[in-house]
């Protein structure tokens, strides 16, 4: 297959690209290398991807149709082409202070992608949604058909909007799509704005860790290679219109996540217990039975295995 991955220099895009390149697919990467977090990490991921002969990077912005057209020109159209749309402005807290960026990048950007998928006759689209769409749904574990029209963050709202945009393009224009609701992804080359990375930085520097929700929050943590396998399965299956939860299959207490990290780092951190932040939800728990059945999705990595792999990478990358 020939696949255009938006957000290829990002955390999940990078791991997905490696998996596709390793099995011999042709991958066109697309990313604007924005400065939401250290672009050196994006360059490092991209350098690895550029080591593959079957990879080409287009540096461009989702908001620019001219930039996107360069990537779609390389992709072409037809049965064997796919778009894997992972580029987005991420971060629940960042979305509260920067609503415009989220509307432009996530909603307008996704519409530009859908229009070009339609125009060029692309074989199918797989795109990133998020567990944030469940908002204040309190029926746990979350199932794909649960109510998710009450998001608690602007970020969650943009992701739910993406699902609606995709639905409309399928109904009106027959653009096939699969939306993947990712649940707190972690692992090597992870995002520096996410909890695991922040905790690791605070612990290694001996600074107090900010533990929100008094440490009582629960998350369905998902190891990044399990997620990438789910994304690849969605690209391969190429359903007409589906939404899947992709979670780790087990809900963990935040304090257990921290203790596992401390063990892997060999150091116990000081903790500053703080209340929940606006936009946060107390617990996310994924029902992944639909993805198991229809995608053959089978997350295997527990935090006791995944966190030490993150720490190994973190120590090597930052020479700690």
Residues lying near ligand NAD in the complex (CB under 6 A) are found at 7, 9-13, 31-34, 42, 61-63, 86-90, 105, 109, 128, 130, 182, 184-185, 191
Least distance from ligand NAD to the Cβ atom of residue 12, Å = 4
Least distance from ligand NAD to the Cβ atom of residue 129, Å = 7
Our CB check for ligand NAD shows the closer of 207 and 233 to be 233
Catalytic hit among 37, 127, 134, 155? 155
Which residue in the shown chain puts its C-beta closest to ligand NAD? 10
317 flagged as catalytic: no
Our CB check for ligand NAD shows the closer of 43 and 119 to be 43
Least distance from ligand NAD to the Cβ atom of residue 259, Å = 21
Q: Position of tokens 């574990």?
A: 141
Number of Cβ within 10 Å of residue 279's Cβ equals 19
* 8 A C-beta contact, residue 71 and residue 28: yes
Q: Which two tokens stand for residue 179?
A: 């939306």
Least distance from ligand NAD to the Cβ atom of residue 209, Å = 19
* Spatial separation of the C-alpha atoms in residues 247 and 186, rounded to whole Å: 11
Least distance from ligand NAD to the Cβ atom of residue 34, Å = 4
Our CB check for ligand NAD shows the closer of 122 and 185 to be 185
Our CB check for ligand NAD shows the closer of 169 and 182 to be 182
Our CB check for ligand NAD shows the closer of 25 and 220 to be 220
Catalytic residues: 155
């Amino acid at each position: 297959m020939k696949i255009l991955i938006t957000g290829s220099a990002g955390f999940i895009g990078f791991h997905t690209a490696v998996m596709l390149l390793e099995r011999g697919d042709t991958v066109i990467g697309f990313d604007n290398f924005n400065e939401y977090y250290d672009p050196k990490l994006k360059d490092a991921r991209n350098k690895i991807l550029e080591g593959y002969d079957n990879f080409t990077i287009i540096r461009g912005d989702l908001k620019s149709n001219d930039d996107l057209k360069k990537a779609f020109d390389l992709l072409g159209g037809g049965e064997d082409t796919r778009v894997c749309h992972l580029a987005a402005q991420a971060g629940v807290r960042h979305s509260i202070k920067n609503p415009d960026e989220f509307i432009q990048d996530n909603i307008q950007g996704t519409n530009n992608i859908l229009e070009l998928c339609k125009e060029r006759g692309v074989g199918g689209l797989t795109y990133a949604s998020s567990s944030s769409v469940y908002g204040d749904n309190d029926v746990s574990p979350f199932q794909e058909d649960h109510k998710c029209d009450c998001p608690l963050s602007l970020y969650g709202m943009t992701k739910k909007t993406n699902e609606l945009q995709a639905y409309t393009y399928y109904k009106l224009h027959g653009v096939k799509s699969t939306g993947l609701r990712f649940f707190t992804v972690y692992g090597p080359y992870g995002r520096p704005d996410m909890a695991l990375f922040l905790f690791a930085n605070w612990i290694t520097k001996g600074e107090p860790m900010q533990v929100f929700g008094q440490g009582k929050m629960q998350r369905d943590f998902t190891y990044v290679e399990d997620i990438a396998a789910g994304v690849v399965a969605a690209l391969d299956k190429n359903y007409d219109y589906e939404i899947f939860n992709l979670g780790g299959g087990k809900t963990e207490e935040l304090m257990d996540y921290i203790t596992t990290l401390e063990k892997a780092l060999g150091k116990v951190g000081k903790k500053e217990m703080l209340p929940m932040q606006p936009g946060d939800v107390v617990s996310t728990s994924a029902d992944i039975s639909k993805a198991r059945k229809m995608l053959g999705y089978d997350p295997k990595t527990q935090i006791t295995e995944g966190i030490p792999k993150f720490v190994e990478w973190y120590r090597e990358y930052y020479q700690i």
